[in-house]
C-alpha cells in the first residue's frame, strides 16, 4: 500500500532539462528509492538541483561526493545495506567511466544500483564536442537495463515518460520480473539551458519497492535431497541465515565463510579449510549443498570440482550461479531428505565429528596466533596468597602488552561487533585470517566479494553506515558503530572516500587498517618463491611510506596508532564520535 510522505513532488518550470529531471527523480522516489548520490558536473546540473530539493523536503537522503568512483561505491553500500536501489548521478565524459568498477561489483553481487549519466544531445555527439564520448551502452551486457534517453524538449507526455522510465529502472534493478537484480543504466541527453531554479516540492506518495521475482522465472524448482549421502553445507558470501537453518534442520556440518551471514549455530565448522584436507572429513564428503558465493578458500572449489562429490547450488535469484565444475544442479531451493532427523545418532555423529575437530584446530590456531596471551587464572585473583596475586597481575599485564598479530586483530574486530553494529571487511590477508579463526556470531558483516577487489571498500562502508544508522535512529534503536577492517593498500586505493562533505553529518565509522607497508597478500602466493625479490617487491608488494597520521589530519579524521592488545581493546571498546582511523603496524 502506498504511504503518503511529507516529501517533494516538484512543480513544472518550463525548462525541459529541469522538468525532466524533476519528473525522473520524483518517479524514483515514488518507486521506493531513498538514497541518491551526486557527483558535481555541468551537464548533470538539473538532476543534481532536483535531488537537492528532494533532500530539503525530506524525500531522499542525498550524498554528494567529488570523486565518481567514490560515489559509485557509496551508492553500492547504501543499496547493499538497505536492499533498495540507490541512484548515482554523474555528468558526461570520464565521469561515467569512473562508475564502472561499482557497476561491475553490483553485477556480480546482484546489488540493485541505478546509474544516471548526463549526456550531450544527439546533435553534439560524434563531432568531437568537448567532454563527449559514446556513453550509450558504456557498461556492456552487465546491466539489467540500458536506455539512451533523447534530450527532452518540453513535448507533451515527457513527464509521464520520465516517471515510467524511473519505475522501469527500479523494477529492473531489483529483478522484479527477472529474478536477476543488479545495475541499471539510464543515459539522458540535455540541451542548454541546462537548468533553472527548482520550485519547492509537494508531498509524494511513496510506494514500497517491487519484490523480486521468484526462482520459477529462471526455471529453478525446489529440490528434495535424496537420503544416504554424507553431506556438507557450504555458505559463501551473502548466503544468508537460510544456509544455517537448512544445515541445522537437515543435520549437516555448516562450512560458513565469514561474510556469509550464516556464521553461527551449533553445526558451524570454523576450521573447515584444514578439515577438507583430511581424509576422515573432506575425503568422506559425498555431497555439498552451496548457498551464496564462496570466495575465501581454494579448498571449497577443490571439493566442488571432485568427480565423486554431488554438488547442489541453491540460487533463487541471479541468472549466473556459482558452479566451479560446470556440472552442479542449480535449484531455486532445497529441502532435507524425507524423514531426515538431525537428532538421530548418525546425524549427530557426522556433525559432531566436524564440530569437535574444528574446535580443537581453532584452539591450536588461537595459541599459534598469540602464544603469549594466556588468560589469567581467575582463581589466583581470589587467592589471599601474595604469590598467587602477583602471578595473576603478571599474567594480566602480559596479556595487555601482547603484540598484535593479524589473527589477533581479526578476532578483536569480530569480538567487538554486536548485532546493532556493522562490520565491513576489505579484500586483504585480514579477511582470510578472520575466516580461519573467528567463532560463530550472528552479526551483520559486509564485503564486496562479487569481484573481491580492493577498490571502494571505505566508500561502501560509508554507504552502509549512513543507511544503517539513519534507519536505526528513525526506529528509535541503537545506531551502533560501523567498523572497517582492511589493509593499507586497500585504504590508499580508496583514499578519496576520506573526503567528507561539510554539509552532511558523518556516521559513526571506525577504520582499522593493518599497515604492513605494502601488499603482503602476495607473499603467500607461489610467485613469491619464483620471482626475483627486487622485481617482486617493485611490481607486487609495492611498498609505500605513507604517514597515515598526516593523511587522517588532512581529511579531518581522528587517528591513533595501537601496538598492543590492550591498546587495541581500548580503541575498539571506546571509539571516538564520528570518523576515526586506528592504525595497527604489522610485521611483513
pLDDT score recorded for residue 118: 97
The last residue of one of the domains, among 157, 184, 206, is 206
Q: How confident is the model at residue 531 (pLDDT cuts 50, 70, 90)?
A: very high
Collapsed DSSP state (helix, strand, coil) of residue 226: coil
Lowest mean pLDDT among 68-82, 116-130, 383-397, 487-501: 383-397
Strand residues in 157-200 grouped as ranges (E): 183-189
Q: Are residues 544 and 446 part of one domain?
A: yes
Q: How confident is the model at residue 391 (pLDDT cuts 50, 70, 90)?
A: low
pLDDT at 262 over 70: yes
Lowest mean pLDDT among 133-137, 259-263, 409-413, 566-570: 133-137
pLDDT score recorded for residue 326: 95
Number of domains in the chain: 4
Q: Are residues 67 and 28 part of one domain?
A: yes
Q: Are residues 197 and 60 part of one domain?
A: yes
pLDDT score recorded for residue 1: 33
For residue 364, tell me if it sits in a domain: no
Give the dihedral sign, CA 249/250/254/256.
negative
pLDDT at 83 over 90: yes
Q: Are residues 379 and 352 part of one domain?
A: no
Q: Are residues 336 and 248 part of one domain?
A: yes
Q: Are residues 135 and 62 part of one domain?
A: yes
Q: Are residues 164 and 56 part of one domain?
A: yes
Determine the Cα–Cα distance for residues 19 and 195; give it in Å rounded to an integer.
9
pLDDT score recorded for residue 124: 77
pLDDT score recorded for residue 6: 42
Domain membership of residue 112 as a residue range: 3-206
pLDDT score recorded for residue 4: 37
Average pLDDT over every residue of 152-172: 96
What tens digit of pLDDT does each residue of 493-522 get? 999 999 989 989 999 999 999 999 999 889
For residue 55, tell me if it sits in a domain: yes
For residue 499, tell me if it sits in a domain: yes
Q: Are residues 319 and 276 part of one domain?
A: yes
pLDDT score recorded for residue 128: 82
Q: Are residues 411 and 550 part of one domain?
A: yes
482-487 sheet: strands from edge to edge: 445-446, 422-425, 482-487, 509-515, 579-585, 558-561
Contact 178, 170 (CB under 8 A): no
What tens digit of pLDDT does each residue of 122-145 get? 887 888 887 778 899 999 999 999
For residue 472, tell me if it sits in a domain: yes
pLDDT score recorded for residue 394: 62
Q: Are residues 167 and 39 part of one domain?
A: yes
Q: How confident is the model at residue 386 (pLDDT cuts 50, 70, 90)?
A: confident
Q: Are residues 151 and 25 part of one domain?
A: yes
Determine the Cα–Cα distance for residues 351 and 248; give it in Å rounded to an integer.
10
For residue 365, tell me if it sits in a domain: no
DSSP string across 341-396: -TTSHHHHHHHHHHHHHHHHHHHHHHHHH-TT-PPP-HHHHH---HHHHHHHHHHH
The last residue of one of the domains, among 187, 206, 225, is 206
Lowest mean pLDDT among 14-28, 291-305, 378-392, 398-412: 378-392
Q: How confident is the model at residue 376 (pLDDT cuts 50, 70, 90)?
A: low
What tens digit of pLDDT does each residue of 413-441 get? 999 999 999 999 999 899 999 999 999 99
- The mean predicted confidence, pLDDT, of the chain is 93
Q: Are residues 428 and 318 part of one domain?
A: no
Indicate the pTM of the whole model: 0.92
The last residue of one of the domains, among 350, 381, 401, is 401
At residue 239, φ and ψ (nearest 5 deg) are: -65, -40
What CATH number should be reported for the domain holding residue 105?
A: 3.40.50.970
Average pLDDT over every residue of 69-97: 97
Amino acid at each position: 500500500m502506498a504511504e503518503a510522505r511529507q516529501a517533494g513532488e516538484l512543480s513544472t518550470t518550463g525548462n525541459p532539462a529541469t522538468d525532466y529531471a524533476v519528473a525522473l527523480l520524483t518517479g524514483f522516489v515514488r518507486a521506493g528509492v531513498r538514497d541518491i548520490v551526486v557527483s558535481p558536473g555541468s551537464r548533470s546540473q538539473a538532476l543534481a538541483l532536483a535531488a537537492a530539493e528532494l533532500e530539503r523536503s525530506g524525500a531522499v537522503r542525498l550524498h554528494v561526493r567529488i570523486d565518481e568512483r567514490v560515489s559509485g561505491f557509496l551508492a553500492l553500500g547504501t543499496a547493499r545495506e538497505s536492499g533498495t536501489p540507490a541512484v548515482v548521478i554523474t555528468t558526461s565524459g570520464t565521469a561515467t567511466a569512473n562508475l564502472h568498477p561499482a557497476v561491475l561489483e553490483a553485477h556480480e553481487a546482484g546489488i540493485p544500483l541505478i546509474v544516471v549519466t548526463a549526456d550531450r544531445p544527439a546533435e553534439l555527439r560524434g563531432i568531437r564536442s568537448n567532454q563527449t564520448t559514446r556513453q550509450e551502452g558504456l557498461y556492456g551486457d552487465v546491466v539489467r537495463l540500458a536506455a539512451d534517453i533523447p534530450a527532452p524538449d518540453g513535448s507533451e507526455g515527457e513527464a509521464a515518460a520520465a516517471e515510467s522510465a524511473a519505475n522501469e529502472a527500479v523494477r529492473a534493478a531489483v529483478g522484479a520480473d527477472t529474478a536477476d537484480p543488479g545495475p541499471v543504466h539510464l543515459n539522458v541527453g540535455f540541451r542548454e539551458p541546462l537548468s533553472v531554479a527548482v520550485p519547492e516540492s509537494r508531498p509524494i506518495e511513496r510506494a514500497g519497492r517491487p519484490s523480486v521475482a521468484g526462482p520459477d522465472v529462471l526455471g529453478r524448482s525446489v529440490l528434495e535431497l535424496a537420503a544416504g549421502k554424507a553431506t556438507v553445507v557450504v555458505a559463501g558470501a551473502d548466503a544468508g541465515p537460510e544456509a544455517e537453518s537448512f544445515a541445522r534442520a537437515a543435520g549437516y556440518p555448516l562450512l560458513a565463510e565469514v561474510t556469509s551471514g550464516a556464521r553461527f549455530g551449533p553445526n558451524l565448522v570454523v576450521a573447515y579449510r584444514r578439515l577438507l584436507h583430511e581424509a576422515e572429513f573432506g575425503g568422506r564428503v559425498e555431497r555439498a549443498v552451496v548457498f551464496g558465493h564462496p570466495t575465501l578458500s581454494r579448498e571449497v572449489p577443490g571439493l566442488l570440482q571432485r568427480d565423486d562429490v554431488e554438488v547442489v547450488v541453491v540460487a533463487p535469484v541471479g541468472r549466473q550461479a556459482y558452479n566451479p565444475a560446470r556440472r552442479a544442479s542449480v535449484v531455486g531451493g532445497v529441502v532435507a531428505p524425507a524423514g531426515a532427523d538431525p537428532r538421530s545418532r548418525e546425524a549427530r555423529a557426522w556433525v559432531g565429528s566436524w564440530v569437535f575437530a574444528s574446535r580443537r584446530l581453532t584452539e591450536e590456531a588461537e595459541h599459534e596466533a598469540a602464544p603469549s596471551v594466556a588468560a589469567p587464572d581467575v582463581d589466583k585473583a581470589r587467592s589471599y596468597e601474595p604469590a598467587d596475586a602477583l602471578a595473576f597481575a603478571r599474567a594480566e599485564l602480559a596479556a595487555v602488552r601482547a603484540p598484535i598479530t593479524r589473527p589477533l586483530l581479526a578476532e578483536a574486530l569480530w569480538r567487538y561487533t554486536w548485532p546493532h553494529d556493522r562490520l565491513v571487511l576489505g579484500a586483504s590477508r585480514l579477511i582470510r585470517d578472520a575466516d580461519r579463526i573467528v567463532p560463530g556470531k550472528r552479526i551483520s558483516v559486509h564485503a564486496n566479494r562479487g569481484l573481491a577487489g580492493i577498490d571502494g571498500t571505505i566508500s561502501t562502508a560509508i554507504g552502509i553506515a549512513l543507511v544503517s544508522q539513519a534507519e536505526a535512529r528513525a526506529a528509535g534503536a541503537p545506531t551502533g558503530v560501523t567498523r572497517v577492517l582492511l589493509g593499507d593498500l586497500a585504504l590508499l586505493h580508496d583514499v578519496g572516500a576520506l573526503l567528507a562533505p561539510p554539509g552532511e553529518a558523518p556516521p559513526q565509522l571506525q577504520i582499522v587498517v593493518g599497515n604492513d607497508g605494502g601488499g603482503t597478500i602476495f607473499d603467500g602466493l607461489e610467485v613469491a618463491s619464483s620471482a626475483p625479490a627486487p622485481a617482486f617487491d617493485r611490481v607486487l608488494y609495492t611498498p609505500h611510506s605513507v604517514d597515515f597520521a598526516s593523511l587522517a589530519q588532512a581529511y579531518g579524521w581522528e587517528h591513533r596508532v595501537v601496538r598492543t592488545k590492550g591498546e587495541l581493546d581500548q580503541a575498539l571498546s571506546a571509539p571516538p564520535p564520528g570518523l576515526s582511523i586506528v592504525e595497527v603496524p604489522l610485521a611483513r
